[in-house]
Chain A
Amino acid sequence: EAQVTQNPRYLITVTGKKLTVTCSQNMNHEYMSWYRQDPGLGLRQIYYSMNVEVTDKGDVPEGYKVSRKEKRNFPLILESPSPNQTSLYFCASSSTNPGTEAFFGQGTRLTVV
């Protein structure tokens, strides 16, 4: 079954404690990205990757890092989380052909206290 898998689904952490949210896809997609969803703001892109070792900033990259060492994995790293990073995070993947269907993970609800 084609899917995008995120872990963990729920996470509560304290300010400043580094964390990683993993994302894995089994569709051999080149393009992967991270979004955050906040009330009244919709989903906004954090970072994206066109292929292995190729990453770039999205609209709201501050406070986040990513890596793409393997095609299937695209972890999101928060080196020093702050309360304003409390949000619902989604990982997505698609082909690099522009405008193709995007597949999303089930989301990670992060709370930073």
Chain B
Amino acid sequence: KQEVTQIPAALSVPEGENLVLNCSFTDSAIYNLQWFRQDPGKGLTSLLLIQSSQREQTSGRLNASLDKSSGRSTLYIAASQPGDSATYLCAVSPLAILSGGGNKLTFGTGTQLKVEL
């Protein structure tokens, strides 16, 4: 059974810092890994999707890497801003067709980020 772990559970940093959020998963048989952002009272917003054949994806100040063989992904946020404060979730999509058709996501419990002025 796939398990996804995110460390740390919470993180508080001053504005301007570069930071790294970690995600690990136990089963390397994945189609892809997605990073989401969750704001209070709002839904999940997809930030980056990395296919299993890719090593990294970039969007603006965000860079996500994937090391499938070791079961790890990192989300790098450059020059953090107060507006980055949110909970960040990673989720993996399984390779097995029988597991919800391949589109079922297994989520970590998230890292709650606070960027202070």
Contact = CB atoms under 8 A, between A and B. Distances in A.
Main secondary structure of the interface of A (DSSP, over half): strand
Contacts, number: 76
Interface residues of B, number: 30
B117 interface: no
B104 A104 contact: no
B31 interface: yes
A101 B104 contact: no
Interface residues of A, number: 29
Interface in B66-117: 89, 91, 93, 95, 97, 100-105, 107-110
A66 to B, nearest CB: 13
Interface of A: 4, 31, 33, 35, 40-45, 48, 50, 56, 58, 90, 92, 94-96, 98-107
